[in-house]
Structure 1
Amino acid sequence: MPNTASDSTSAPLETPRLGEPYLLTPGPLTTAYEVKEAMLRDWGSWDGAFRAMTARLRRELLDIAGDMAGEFDCVPMQGSGSFSVEAMLGSFVPKDGKVLVLSNGAYGKRIAQTLSYLGRDHAVIDKGDYMPPRGTEVATALDADPAISHVVVVHCETSSGILNPLKEISDTVYAHGRKLLVDSMSAFGAVPARVSDFRYEAIVSSANKCIEGVPGFGFVIARKSELEAAKGRSHSLSLDIHAQWDYMNKSGQWRFTPPTHVVAAFLEALRIHREEGGVAARGARYARNRDVMVAGMREAGFETLLADQWLSPIIVTFFSPAHPAFAFDRFYDLMKDKGFIIYPGKLTVVDSFRVGCIGRMDEHVMRRVVDAARSSLAEMGVDNAAPPAIALEERSRLAA
């Protein structure tokens, strides 16, 4: 794990106002006061001013994606991020297509579940909780099954915190003449995903992740050729990406009631993102958050699920201590009392919890997180945060 944070001398970010706790989650997350403040005005969804806001939102997201050649377009979609993932799958995968799902956590499993609902044929490479899918495995699967037309991968699998090797996967997919779809829900805006970084047909994210907006819509950045081919393909009226794209381009409006206040907040979040220094600076801050927090938690005796090479700057999974006095619900409440809301784990083999690194916070806050964790353990009477032996054995076995 790169030690980018220990020598940092940056000034602390402003503490959230209104007595709010920090959300150490993968989104919703802690937002800047200015983002909240942007929601104080009402907007008419058909008004020219709001149409201009929508056009600006789409343009600025394409700028982040680095679409210099004008081959892509951005389509915002109402709802949570999962709405946009389902819209992508239902619109871009033909009904007679077949999808290879690269799964190493809850969100890969959700993609497979979504494809089942959609009636799309699919196969799964399931890597469990600990390891990323690799290009060699993808190549083997594609060689074995010529019916596979698309590969879908989660950029950052937040149920574990793994940052998957997208370029390696993309190179393999296109070397085999297939197409790649990317769920970058918790990475876009902080982890490089420009159209020139690696190839994909479409990538999705949402307002309440690394751009640091509030929940209410997701967005799909896709090749125009794929958007055109999606006409009439969707299983859903409201999740039809082609219909939304076509209507927006003709009218400047959303087909159905847009989350006007969320759009206003997101534009303010985009301004802050741009002024911070864009993807590189946002990702560097999150990486510093991770480095300080992980180092401190390890000093306190906690163990991470993942080896350093796979730790994302988005969220980190820790094994729960084996100590009989440790109970996650009590730990959660104690951390919340100290101003920090953490996230329960989603592992299948052992108990765990997660600590997010994203949102309007910095390494100074993360040092307070570590202090709060130490104090909470002491209040619980936990003098050893080591995980059960089976957790470390499982990690070592699967990493071998």
Structure 2
Amino acid sequence: MNDKKLYTPGPLNVSLSTKEAMLVDLGSRDLEFMDTVKYIRSKLLEIAGVSSDDFTSVPVQGSGTFAIEAVFTTSVPRTNGKVLVLENGAYGVRIGQILNALGIQTKTLKFLEDEKVDVKMVEKELMKDQSFTNVAMVHSETSSGVLNPIKEIGVLVEKHLPDASYLVDAMSSFGAIDIDMEGSNIDFLVSSANKCLEGVPGFSYAICRKERLRKCKGWSRSLVLDLVAQWEVLERTGQFRFTPPTHAMLAFRQALLEYEKEGGLSGRAQRYKENCQIIRDGMKSFGFKTLLDASHEGYIITSFYFPQHSNFDFQDFYSGLKEKGQVIYPGKVTKAACFRIGNIGHLFPRDMRHLLSCVKEVCRDMDITLPMDMKQDWI
């Protein structure tokens, strides 16, 4: 099988050296593996810009959604737990689904998919209802590309609900977009190995404020997703409670070394921003229109409307690109027919330019003349 270029929210392309790091078999109790886990946990705190005195990182087997559920099953009180969910996309919806499955009382504030969470509306809700024990939102809502104001919301949570825990889903932003955890009063931040840090799928992690995490002991509704128990065993033994994703963690160690070599967050962000600008400028020159306007500063993924051209069929467009080894993503918004092009993972400006050339060829094959008429109506 030949590798394809993945212009998606994940899984993502990774470097050859990251893949090669998995060609070693280690037991979960091997000192080398335990040192790897220790290094990863420490490095995540460094990237987050927080002190190990106040925060800890807890890896969890499974995708990012596993870590999000782990935070909720662990941090929401069993007796009076009530979560305020700020939702403006598919991943905010997923948070609600998790809470519903756990049987946790939830209030959801819904916002438009192409708009940021409204800070004033959130403050109004927090002032009206003081019973929330937890507040949760998505930072980079990759169903559309919206980047939400997590710091402004965190300040409000601290002001109006100082005893509530604040969760931020930073799945597709951590490591590439600066997040001020302390200034944002974030208690739990969740991300995954195979996102902006460019590891392979297999585990996710929660960066937790120790003070909040300690208070959750005995609350978990799950054995395997109990973050407190996971943390305590890691701290005491350096080992996972249950079989860890050894190969994925070896790959992640290599990915973190390459992250530092690239210049850490600033270097990774610079590459992703350049990737984003190339694809947006190129698609615009072809006549494609973005879902979000210029008021949005996110650079992780871009949603494009389906063009109103009689010859455009998304499945043909998608298949044509895939045949050329270029994989884009269908849209995940409900209000408009869109597709998405991501620019994170092991992708570089040359890859974005090559994708544009492939888009041009596929449009030609579909008998669509570029540039398309920018004055046409869009869905």
TM-score by length of structure 2 reads: 0.95
1:244 partnered with 2:245: no
- CA distances 1:144-180 after superposition (whole Å, capped 9, x unpaired): 1111222101010000011111111111221212431
- 1:74 corresponds in structure 2 to 57
Whether the 8 Å contact between 2:45 and 2:207 is mirrored in structure 1 is yes
Q: Distance in 2 between matches of 1:199 and 1:90?
A: 20
- 2:85 corresponds in structure 1 to 101
The one-letter code matched in structure 1 to 2:276 is R
Of the candidates 121, 144, 159, which is equivalent to residue 128 of structure 2? 144
- Size of the aligned set, in residue pairs, is 374
- CA distances 1:186-228 after superposition (whole Å, capped 9, x unpaired): 1101011243442211100000000000000000000111221
Of the candidates 351, 357, 363, which is equivalent to residue 365 of structure 1? 351
The one-letter code matched in structure 2 to 1:242 is V
- 2:72 corresponds in structure 1 to 89
- CA distances 1:119-141 after superposition (whole Å, capped 9, x unpaired): 11111111131111122111011
- 2:322 corresponds in structure 1 to 336
1:324 partnered with 2:310: yes
1:193 partnered with 2:176: no
Q: Distance in 1 between matches of 2:212 and 2:218?
A: 12
- 2:115 corresponds in structure 1 to 131
1:46 partnered with 2:37: no
Distance apart, 1:311 and its partner CA: 4.3
Moved over 4 A (4+): 385-388
Structure 1 gap ranges (5+)? 1-17, 392-400
Specify whether residues 279 and 387 from structure 1 end up closer, same or farther in structure 2 by C-alpha distance, changes over 3 A only. farther
Q: Distance in 2 between matches of 1:47 and 1:191?
A: 34
Distance apart, 1:73 and its partner CA: 0.3
Q: Distance in 2 between matches of 1:197 and 1:29?
A: 30
1:353 partnered with 2:339: yes
The one-letter code matched in structure 2 to 1:101 is V
Query: Aligned with 1:102: secondary structure?
Result: strand
After superposition, residues 21-60 of structure 1 pair within 5 angstroms as 21-60=4-43
- 1:274 corresponds in structure 2 to 260
1:174 partnered with 2:158: yes
Distance apart, 1:309 and its partner CA: 2.5
Query: Aligned with 2:295: secondary structure?
Result: helix
1:253 partnered with 2:239: yes
Whether the 8 Å contact between 1:182 and 1:200 is mirrored in structure 2 is yes
The one-letter code matched in structure 2 to 1:52 is D
Whether the 8 Å contact between 1:320 and 1:385 is mirrored in structure 2 is no
- CA distances 1:93-121 after superposition (whole Å, capped 9, x unpaired): 21222111111110000001111111111
Query: Aligned with 1:40: secondary structure?
Result: coil
Specify whether residues 234 and 386 from structure 1 end up closer, same or farther in structure 2 by C-alpha distance, changes over 3 A only. farther
The one-letter code matched in structure 2 to 1:248 is L
Structure 2 gap ranges (5+)? none
Whether the 8 Å contact between 2:111 and 2:118 is mirrored in structure 1 is no
Distance apart, 1:386 and its partner CA: 5.8
1:234 partnered with 2:217: no
- 1:11 corresponds in structure 2 to none
Distance apart, 1:388 and its partner CA: 7.5
Q: Distance in 1 between matches of 2:310 and 2:81?
A: 50
Whether the 8 Å contact between 2:45 and 2:52 is mirrored in structure 1 is no
Q: Distance in 1 between matches of 2:375 and 2:38?
A: 50
1:164 partnered with 2:152: no
Q: Distance in 2 between matches of 1:246 and 1:385?
A: 60
1:120 partnered with 2:108: no
Query: Aligned with 1:181: secondary structure?
Result: strand
Specify whether residues 217 and 326 from structure 1 end up closer, same or farther in structure 2 by C-alpha distance, changes over 3 A only. same
Instruction: Give RMSD over aligned pairs.
Output: 1.5
Distance apart, 1:255 and its partner CA: 0.7
Query: Aligned with 1:192: secondary structure?
Result: coil
Q: Distance in 2 between matches of 1:194 and 1:59?
A: 17
Specify whether residues 386 and 327 from structure 1 end up closer, same or farther in structure 2 by C-alpha distance, changes over 3 A only. farther
Q: Distance in 1 between matches of 2:268 and 2:337?
A: 31
Query: Aligned with 2:252: secondary structure?
Result: helix
- 1:61 corresponds in structure 2 to 44
Structure 1 range deviating more: 364-373 or 266-275: 364-373
Specify whether residues 375 and 51 from structure 1 end up closer, same or farther in structure 2 by C-alpha distance, changes over 3 A only. same
Q: Distance in 2 between matches of 1:273 and 1:71?
A: 24
TM-score by length of structure 1 reads: 0.90
Query: Aligned with 1:187: secondary structure?
Result: coil
The one-letter code matched in structure 1 to 2:307 is P
Whether the 8 Å contact between 2:307 and 2:378 is mirrored in structure 1 is no
The one-letter code matched in structure 1 to 2:168 is V
Specify whether residues 311 and 195 from structure 1 end up closer, same or farther in structure 2 by C-alpha distance, changes over 3 A only. closer
The one-letter code matched in structure 2 to 1:207 is A
- 1:225 corresponds in structure 2 to 211
